[in-house]
Amino acid sequence: MDVSNLFNVKGKVALVTGGAKGVGRMISEGLVQNGATVYISSRDAKACGEAVRELNDLGKGKAIAIPADFYKEEDCKRLAAELSRREPKLHILVNNSGSNWGARYDEYPDSAWIRVLTLNLHRVFTITQLLTPLLEKAASPGDPSRIINIGSVDGLRVPPLET
């Protein structure tokens, strides 16, 4: 099957948070293989660099790393400013970064709850809000910009851990 028949991203600019590992890495690879310029970001700068090298060996598109720790609002602002300096518009934002805390319900610390909510919810809003001007510049009536929010399967079923 020709993936370009399903979606065409050639020439599009995307940002994938958590784009260096796991599901985010797979999303980044699919976008690069189909001709997009993909910015990947996570707090693991080394993993971002390794992923970019591997992704750029694939051909068609291009990968660029801008490491950022999404727990920190200032890193979100820095990422948005850096992306704005490099690109006039953003077609696709994939909010994929996420976190969990492995503790039993009755032992779950308040600090962990704040950390999980900050990354999984608050910063999704923050980064989307900061990048809205770039997303609006890329949008057209026939081809709107896309915001894709990735969630955990644990939102659909009871998780195996008592978290």
The full set of domains in the chain, from first to last, is 8-151 (3.40.50.720)
pLDDT at residue 151, rounded to an integer = 84
pLDDT band at residue 101 using 50, 70 and 90 as cut-offs: confident
pLDDT tops 70 at residue 4: no
12-48 residue pLDDT tens = 999 999 999 999 999 999 999 999 999 999 999 999 9
pLDDT in tens, 60-87: 899 999 999 999 999 999 999 999 999 9
Check residue 158 and give its pLDDT: 73
Give the largest CA-CA distance in the chain: 50
Q: Check whether 52 has a pLDDT greater than 70.
A: yes
Would you call 13 exposed, middle or buried from its count of C-beta atoms within 10 A (0-12, 13-18, 19+)? Answer: buried
